[in-house]
Structure 1
Amino acid sequence: MFKNYLKIAWRNLTKNKAYTIINVGGLALGMAVALIIGLWITDELSHNNYFAHKNQIAQIYQSQTVNGETGTGPAIPRPLEKAFRDGYMDNFKHLVMCSWNTSQYLKYKETNISRDGNFMQREAPEMLDLKILKGEKDGVREINSIMLNESTANALFGDEDPIGKTIEVNSQYDMMVTAVYEDIPFNNTFNDTEFIMPWDKYVSINEWIKNAEDQWGNNSFQMFVQIADNTTMESVTSKIGEVKQELNENSREFNTQLFLFPMKDWYLRSRFENGKQVGGRIKYVWLFGIIGAFVLLLACINFMNLSTARSEKRAKEVGIRKSIGSQRGQLINQFLGESFLVVLFAYALAIFIVVLSLSGFNDLARKEIDFPWSSIGFWLASLAFILFTALLAGSYPALYLSSFRPVDVLKGTFKAGKHSGLPRKILVVVQFTVSVAFIIGTVIVMQQINHAKNRPVGYDKEGLVQVPTMSQDFTGKFELMREEFINSGAVIEMSTSSSPTTNIWSNRSGWTWEGKPEGFQEDLAWTEVSPEYAKSLNLKIVAGRNFSREFASDSTAVLLNETAVKYMGLKDPIGKLLIDEDAENPSDPLKIIGVVQDMIAQSPYEPVKQGMYVFDRYGNGSYYNMRLNPEQSASQNIAVIERVFKEHFPSIPFQYDFVDDEYGEKFATEERIGQLSGIFTALAILISCLGLFGLTSFVAEQRTKEIGVRKVLGASVFNVWNMLSKDFLKLVIISCFIAVPIAYYVMNGWLQEYPYRVILKWWIFALAMLGALAVTILTVSFQAIKAARTDPARSLRTE
């Protein structure tokens, strides 16, 4: 019986090749989109699965309220470690203090490379359950030991055994390799941790960290924990809350709240708003999951529409089968069998499409997804997916076709009925409602990105290069290097800064000034810069003057940005004094000598942070900022800079970043989402148009004789085109009016997450509607005009 169903199904498919191509092609596209989105979602949800103790690992977070606004983040004070170890260790299996990810120069013999890594306490490898390839897991117990990942070890030592070898770090100290661990996979936190060095070493080489041992107000550190086996994240969070009294007494009443932020939430649910966890990347998982489901639904709608549209052609077949004893259940099974065969072919084609496109998709989505050929779970899920899609696409046609009465069909009195096309019309409306909503959403996402991109940055990022200065070799050489680089002709100005141009590394509070409101809790971004900073960035001084080496008093001077002046309520800031209440000698205030234009140093979607720029007395900033010579090409300038760099720092790898590239990275996530949404929207429209094309072809075929009679009676090509097109255009117009309010509601909610956002304009919705109508006209017109131009003698000759 089943074999017979397949034979009939195959004959029907091969007999109607155009119908089959549209059905299989549309379904294959829909299934390919659903497949690739499914692989992407699986990768997102599997983030940090590499770590065996994922469900027990957490990072200590704290929330602080400043002037009524609560901010949340991972920066914590160092004394917290002692408080936890003294009173709460029965709640933890491991507790690890950690630096922020940092770049270091690693040298072995003549090989010198730059790698990113962390200083961590000795329990870190055990907590993270690192896969040790060589050496020992307890690899950072000694102060001069270092653990390398496999890639770094290969880059430094090649085929040599690295264990026991000594490498030089930043031309400052020697470390012995004690272990090599497996590279942490791409879709995991710490995948960029290419080395681990002891926390004790970090403390010993930085005086400020030693001094921070008792500084509850210095939030400059990270802490990771693995909770004990017999407890939960919630219970430990409630217990460590007891420490907040000490925190608040030393943090100027910021109402500090401590809590555990579980590893399972680090990637997908990392967004906090006013102290509450409100999501994060999980919204994109839901977004693409919905897109995948709808695109698959559009493809299934095509199948339903085309199958039911051809109902009259198959009515006699149903009538004959019923008259010779076929039960309705048997007919349903036959039509579902056809559906299954179409879906099976479509799925095979979909896999082919996914395999071909996966590399490009990975580049676009910044992923490293492999097709799971060897995964039994994937193929079982595929079988379930095929059966589900076959049922979804074939159930309505099967029930509809099997319901025909054989007497009516065989007597020739069968008519589909004036309302028989209503379900198809509803499905077309659903298709284009989804497509138009996708169009609107994609346009708004790209508009929001361009809105932020076009926002004034406050400085000239074009032709600006920053070079990290991590090694001790740079100490005290700023003046010399500035002169050398400028004399080379490749650089017209150069400065130092303690933070990169595109970020803020330090914030400070505890300031007081004349007229400061009672109870005002200030929070200012802190950047140390050399006097040439504003000139090298083309940063405009809007009031007062810039730093000058000619004034010795400028060593205690400060520049504020425009936002800081408003934030502090200063009417005439020049000459005012800022006193650091927490300083050892508060009698040495900073004098405001100028106000600089606001510059975006953090998210371009957020307001500019109130900031202060202080004089870098020693020229030992973390970055050299170089303004390239505009008279020469960038590549020519970089080549000259590298040559000069190597003359003075022959053992240090030359690294640089173009600031405009670094700034562009701030849009990377939204741009990827926008591009992927655009591609999926285009595919959704293509699938909808395939269905519309198929339906138009069928309607034209069904009304061939009518068209012939009309042509004989004098109907023009336009008259015939209008007759075949108007019904479809009406359906698309209805779709537009349904899609617009839905899209407005969803996208307006999405935009609320951005303080700096685009305003929704009416023309966005009008453009999407016109686009949908234009695509519909083009799709329908091809078949309509073809039918209208057919010689009526050919269509009427059979009479």
Structure 2
Amino acid sequence: MLKNYLRTFIQDTKKNLTISVVSMIGITLALAAFIAILQVLIFESSFDKFHSNKDNVYRVLSTSYADGELENYWPCVPKLMGEYCKDYSGVQDFARTLENWPGVNVAFDQKYFRTTERSYYVDASFLDVMNFEILHGNKSSLKNINTCFITESFSQKIFGQVDNVVGKVLSWNEGTEVTIGGVLKDIPQNSSFQFEILLSMETFPYLRNMDWENNTVFGLFLKLDKSVNLNSFSHWLTQLHYDNHNFEAGRKVKYELQPIDDMHLRSGKLTYDYLDRGNLELMHFLLLVSISIVVISLINYVNISSTKLFNRTKEVGIRKLFGAVKASFVKQFFLESVIFNVICALAAFVLLSIPQISNLFDAGVGANGDLSLTFFTVLLSVIFISSLSASAVPSVAILSYSLSALLKGEMVRKQKVVNANTLFISIQLFLCVGFIALTFTIFKQFDFMVNNDLGVKIESVLLVTDKVELEDRRSKNFRSELLNYPEVQSVTSSYVPGKQVLTTKVVNKEGSQKSIMMNATQIDYDYLETFSIKLIAGRNLSEEYPSDRNGGALINRSALDFFDFKTPEEALNKRIFFDGVKTYTIVGVIDDFHQVSLKDKIEPSTYVYQKWPSGYFSIKIQPGSFNQQTISRIKAVYDRIYPEFSFDYQLLEEQYLAQYRQDKVFNKIISALSFIAIVLCCLGLWTMTEFNLRKKAKEIAVRKVLGATIWNIFEVHLKYYGILLLVSAILSLPLVYFISDNWLDNYAYRISIGNWFFILPVLILLPFILLSIIRSIYVAAIRSPIESIRADA
């Protein structure tokens, strides 16, 4: 029986080769989109679920307010909070973390290596709270000062092996000797923590100087009994902070607990996070998009299956005449649909294996993606629903007709079939118009963020790895030698735009109790010139003023309102206090600029002289001189002054734009999905046009006999599809406008939605509609009227 069904499927496919190929293209594209998004969703939702303690380990989040305004919402707490938490009943253990940026120098046997991932100072209990697999060593060694754990990949990078490395000594960041206490298995890709080195918390050089009054920079993870009431414990943490911290008037703080398996996807509202975050809203949106793509393809498949099945009415009629029952037809059509969908699913996997397509996604897709039981359960469910719909809908329709109707093909002219086709086309146009409008919104917002004036010049700036402290002789020599070249305009070792400023201070003006937690950016004397930051009042920090090294400060325009300065000039020579202790005098006011992406609002900030490096030399190249020859000359100087290091560099512009990596991926994915939606819609229109014109062949023939021209026939059908497009746009665009406007509210700086939103989707889709239907209408219009009437008789 199965062999007979397979033979019938092959024969039917050959008989309707064109429409079968069109159908296969559509279903393959839709399944490829669905498979890729499903695998991304499963991967994103799997983050941190490999920890065996995930159900009772929580990260502490803190929210600070000044005069009712949000200052910070972040996973940072004071140093002593973890130790005090041990007094609360139900707290089994705690672990603190303190991050280092990527790009730390590690030396062994006079060879230097540079970390590519973040590194962390951690308590020894970190490896009890979290389940990172230990290959060699004892986690208790992290209790000792100057001890570290490294990952197996980093061990291979340094030693060429994983065994027998415990006890070896590394030079950490130019001076600190740290002993390897153990080796960890490489960190899973679905871990929020990505690192190559863990250092013992005791190794952090400033640990002893930290207390409740400042330096809220530690991550804190708590392992709790299931009996602990989370709300009560959060209130206890808040009160603990108030009991141990002297708060200025108008400032408040609140604590809450976050399950560790929520860290990746449910941290989007944090103002800062030391872990890379996913985007739950994006995942929900992609899920909605993938479902919409499947709906469009399912409609196409049902329509195409109906068209093919209506071509087999005589076959169905003859089989019924010889005694075939309805169940046998349903079974046959269902198995044919299953075979077809499975072939398309396999083709989708092949399509996703093409690098140009798989590279659109951050996670592995296709054969390289998630192939878990969950994935196959969902995929097979979709195939089953698609196959059932594609076989059941036309089967029920055809088998409901009489034997004589089947043999004569009379059901093709039934009005309910026409109404169903109109509904299907309208749904496709509705979704397609929405996709196009949303794609343009995302594209314009991304373009706005990338090309908007940042208030700072990031072009023609070369970032070269800074190895030593600013006051070091070699560092000074490197800077001075570079400035001898006419191509080099300036050099700074300050914080670079595109990097989150981690140093914050509670700042208030002399004579005022009003305070705010502000970014305190460390800069040097060449910072403003290198990044072309505009000075709007006063002067820059300068070596000519010795007091600037420890007591001079710049503020930005956004800080003026907070300090109640009516003009930039009024702020000059006024004193401000950091954490109520350190005094600075405002010597200049700079214009606002975007330190980080346009997703975040420009915050009030201060700028003070830097005594330690940022990790980079930022080298401003003269316009027109940014070429390989200039880079080679800089490398020659670097190799001469730092012969033990490799010359590493990158472009500041590329590093800054890396902040928009997720937005760029999102833009690519939505663009690709919108293209697929348009293709599927066009395939659906072509199929429906073919089907509808078959039913209207006699009507077209009569019109031609009565003197209608080809253009008259075009005009009638174009009017029909034009009205469908217009109605679909009227229904779709207000809904998509609401979705787009809410999405744009996630950005502090956003585009406004103009008239283009309502016009462009229709103008873009109209040519595709014309191309989809013009061929079918033309073939029907030039057909001999006598032939059409005979065929329809």
Q: Which TM-score applies when normalising by structure 1?
A: 0.90
Q: Which residue of 2 aligns with 1:283?
A: 281
CA positional deviation for 1:238:
4.8
Q: Once structures 1 and 2 are overlaid, which stretch shifts more, 137-146 or 29-38?
A: 137-146
Q: How does 1:63-102 map to 2 (within 5 A)?
A: 63-70=63-70, 71-85=72-86, 87-88=87-88, 90-101=90-101
Q: Give me the whole-angstrom Cα distance separating, in 2, the residues matched to 1:761 and 1:200.
A: 57
Residue 367 (structure 1) aligns with: 363
| 1:216-295 alignment, distance < 5 Å | 216-228=213-225, 231=228, 233=230, 236-246=233-243, 249-250=246-247, 254-272=251-269, 281-295=279-293
The answer to whether 1:673 aligns with 2:666 is: yes
Distance in 1, matches of 2:154 and 2:540, equals 44
**Counterpart contact for 1:81–1:97, Cα < 8 Å:** no
For the aligned residue pairs, the C-alpha RMSD in angstroms reads 3.0
Residues 1:674 and 1:35: Cα distance change in structure 2 (over 3 Å)? same
Cα separation, 2, equivalents of 1:567 and 1:364: 44
Equivalent residue, structure 1, for 2:414: 417
2-structure distance, mates of 1:771, 1:317: 42
Cα distance in 1 between the residues matched to 2:357 and 2:694 = 40
Q: How does 1:409-558 map to 2 (within 5 A)?
A: 409-410=406-407, 416-469=413-466, 471-472=468-469, 475=472, 477-498=474-495, 502-513=499-510, 516=512, 520-555=514-549, 556-558=551-553
Change (3 A) 1:620 1:335: closer
Distance 1:233 1:604, change over 3 A: same
Q: How does 1:549-698 map to 2 (within 5 A)?
A: 549-555=543-549, 556-571=551-566, 572-580=569-577, 582-584=579-581, 589-616=583-610, 618=611, 622-698=615-691
Q: What is the Cα deviation at residue 675 of structure 1?
A: 1.1
Give the Cα–Cα distance (whole angstroms) in 2 for the partners of residues 583 and 499 of structure 1.
27
Asked if 1 retains the 8 angstrom alpha-carbon contact of 2:508 and 2:580, the reply is no
* Matches of 1:582 and 1:380, distance apart in 2: 56
Partner of 1:345: 343
- 1:41 is aligned to 41
SS at match of 2:150: strand
Query: How far off is 1:476 after superposition?
Result: 5.4
Q: Would the alpha carbon gap of residues 372 and 591 (structure 1) be closer, same or farther in structure 2, given more than 3 Å must change?
A: closer
Amino acid at match of 1:475: D
- Contact 1:466 1:500 (C-alpha < 8 Å) held by counterparts: no
Shift of 1:520: 3.0
Question: In the alignment, what sits opposite 1:176?
Answer: 179
3-state DSSP class of the match of 1:304? helix
- Out of 15-24 and 702-711, give the one that drifted further: 702-711
Q: 1:380 to 1:750 in 2, by over 3 A?
A: closer
Q: Which amino acid aligns with 2:209?
A: N
Q: Does 1:783 align with 2:776?
A: yes
Give the residue type in structure 1 aligned to 2:356: G
Question: Secondary structure at 2:191's aligned position in 1?
Answer: coil
**More displaced 10-residue stretch of structure 1: 96-105 or 457-466:** 96-105
1:570 counterpart letter in structure 2: F
How far is 1:600 from its partner?
0.6
Give the SS at the match of 1:543. strand
Distance of aligned partners of 1:490 and 1:132 in 2 relative to their CA distance in 1, 3 Å threshold: farther
User: Between Structure 1 and Structure 2, how many residues are aligned?
Assistant: 780
> How far apart are the structure 1 equivalents of 2:498 and 2:330?
67
| Superposition deviation, residue 760 in structure 1 | 0.8
Q: Partners of 2:789 and 2:744 in 1: how far apart? A: 59
Give the aligned partner of residue 719 of structure 2.
726
Query: Secondary structure of the residue that 2:729 maps to in structure 1?
Result: helix
Contact 1:120–1:198 (Cα < 8 Å) also in 2 = yes
Unaligned stretches of 5+ residues in structure 2: none
Tell me if the contact between 2:82 and 2:94 (Cα under 8 Å) persists in the aligned partners: no
Structure 1 residues 230 and 566, CA gap change in structure 2 (3 angstroms) = closer
Unmatched 5+ residue regions in structure 1? Answer: none
Q: Return the alpha-carbon distance in structure 1 between the equivalents of residues 481 and 409 of structure 2.
A: 97
Matched residue type, 2:626: S
Distance, in Å, in 1 between the alignment partners of 2:74 and 2:409 is: 75
DSSP 3-state at the match of 2:113 = strand
Residues 512 and 581 in structure 1, CA contact (< 8 A), matched pair in contact too: no
Q: What residue in structure 2 maps to residue 167 of structure 1?
A: 170
Compare 569-578 and 150-159 and name the one that shifted more: 569-578
Aligned counterparts of 2:410 and 2:113: Cα–Cα separation in 1: 84
Which shifted more, 498-507 or 13-22?
498-507
Q: Distance in 1 between matches of 2:739 and 2:301?
A: 29
Residue 52 of structure 1, CA deviation: 2.9
Query: How far 1:126 moved relative to its partner?
Result: 2.8
2: distance between equivalents of 1:374 and 1:667?
29
Counterpart secondary structure, 1:260: strand
CA distance in 1, matches of 2:153, 2:578: 47
Percent identity, please. 22
**Secondary structure of residue in 1 paired with 2:387:** helix
Which segment is superposed worse, 249-258 or 415-424? 249-258
Contact 1:114 1:653 (C-alpha < 8 Å) held by counterparts: no
Aligned counterparts of 1:376 and 1:795: Cα–Cα separation in 2: 53
Map Cα deviations across residues 7-35 of structure 1 (whole Å, 9 max, x no partner).
Answer: 44443333222222222222222112111
Paired AA for residue 259 in structure 2: P
The 1:534–1:312 alpha-carbon spacing in structure 2 relative to 1, beyond 3 Å, is: closer
Under a length normalisation based on structure 2, what TM-score does the superposition of the two structures give? 0.91
